[in-house]
Amino acid sequence: RGVHVDHVTIYRWVLRFMPLLAEAARPCRHRVGDRWQVDETYVKVAGQWRYVYRAIDQSGQVVDVFVSTRRDVRAARRFFQQAISATKVTPTEVTTDKAPIYPGVLDALLPAVWHRSEQYENNRVEADHGRLKARLRPMRGLKQERSAKVIIAGHALVQNVRRGHYELAVDEPATWRLAAAFDELAMAI
């Protein structure tokens, strides 16, 4: 397109504008389903391992993401509280791996939820982690906690827009959906 921009400039634009774009897109988001698949993965931030809690619903929409320094009951509880308050949806079914932290958290927060943890039930969210890792790998690690949170949340937004989980650029073909959606969101900001 004839515009030469350094990759650091684009990185700074992402950090500055992605939270604004996510906030502008919030009213256009489709309602999140009530069957969630929850798992955590890990990324390196400033040389330290951080856990990224992620949930997707039955249609593949990323429900929410949460970056934590630990993989414990407190982090899992904060993730579920954040996801429920952000989406205003209480899940009826939660599928997790066999991590020992989830049964206690789900019993305390969501006593009526059906908790599934059979082998291979969580493969969709495990495969979904691969897309995040593939995006982060060329970046050669994140350097700050704040930038990790913004970039991981921004990746979830882009993934949901590409999959058509927002009422943005619905008339566009899938290959142009993301560019058209960002044009619409730029007008909203």
Residue range 134-155, pLDDT digits in tens: 888 888 778 899 999 999 999 9
pLDDT in tens, 150-175: 999 999 999 999 999 999 888 888 88
Average pLDDT over residues 81-97: 95
**Torsion region of 116: left, alpha or beta (phi above 0 gives left; psi -120 to 50 gives alpha):** beta
Contact 80, 104 (CB under 8 A): no
Name the 3-class secondary structure at 120: coil
Question: Which one-letter amino acid corresponds to residue 157?
Answer: L
pTM: 0.89
